[in-house]
């Protein structure tokens, strides 16, 4: 990852003369590489004010989504469990239930790709291992 520094076009703040420093991560349009961009602002800069509002709004929305997820997930988990109990011969139901259970064990993290592979390998083994296709 490379790093760039930018003088704010709105307030003209620099590394030597600023009230705030913002570091963002993005993609370099020319190379496609990830790049950090360091920009300075004065406290009265309109671009800085807009960035602050967007950041606070984003944080508020993320918190709301998190609370909503924690409120509805237990009921959805129970419905999946009930549905899977009626489909005991289905590898689809068993795999989905296992993935839901893994996610439900901790809603603060993602079920990782390697955990998905482990579950799906178990319920859908390669052909020749007696897996119905
Ligand atoms: Zn600025």
pTM: 0.61
Which of 80, 72, 24, 31 lies closest to 47 in space, CA to CA? 24
Q: Which residues pair with 6 in a beta bridge?
A: 39
Could you report how far apart the first and last alpha carbons of the chain are, in Å?
44
How far is ligand 1, taken at its centre, from the CA of residue 34, in Å?
A: 23
Q: What is the pLDDT of residue 1?
A: 82
Banded pLDDT at 55 (limits 50, 70, 90): very high
Taking 90 as the threshold, does the pLDDT of residue 127 lie above it?
A: no
What average pLDDT does the segment 25-54 reach?
Answer: 93
How far is ligand 1, taken at its centre, from the CA of residue 17, in Å?
A: 11
How far is ligand 1, taken at its centre, from the CA of residue 45, in Å?
A: 5
Taking 80 as the threshold, does the pLDDT of residue 81 lie above it?
A: yes
How far is ligand 1, taken at its centre, from the CA of residue 31, in Å?
A: 26
Taking 90 as the threshold, does the pLDDT of residue 88 lie above it?
A: no
How far is ligand 1, taken at its centre, from the CA of residue 82, in Å?
A: 55
- Residue with token string 């419905």: 79
Three-class DSSP category at 91: helix
Q: What is the pLDDT of residue 53?
A: 96
User: 89-100 pLDDT, tens per residue?
Assistant: 899 999 999 999
Banded pLDDT at 110 (limits 50, 70, 90): very high
- Cα distances (angstroms) measured from residue 43 to each of 8, 12, 37, 48: 12, 12, 19, 7
């Amino acid at each position: 990852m490379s790093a760039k520094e930018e003088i704010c076009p709105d307030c003209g703040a620099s590394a030597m003369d600023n009230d705030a420093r913002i570091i963002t991560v993005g993609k370099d349009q020319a190379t496609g590489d990830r790049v950090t961009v360091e920009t300075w602002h004065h406290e009265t800069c309109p671009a800085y004010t807009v960035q602050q509002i967007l950041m606070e709004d984003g944080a508020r929305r993320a918190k709301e989504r998190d609370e909503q997820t924690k409120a509805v997930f237990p009921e959805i988990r129970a419905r999946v469990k009930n549905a899977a109990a009626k489909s005991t011969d289905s590898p689809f139901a068993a795999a989905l239930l296992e993935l839901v259970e893994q996610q439900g064990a901790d809603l603060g993290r993602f079920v990782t790709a390697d955990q998905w592979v482990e579950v799906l390998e178990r319920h859908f083994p390669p052909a020749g291992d007696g897996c119905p296709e």
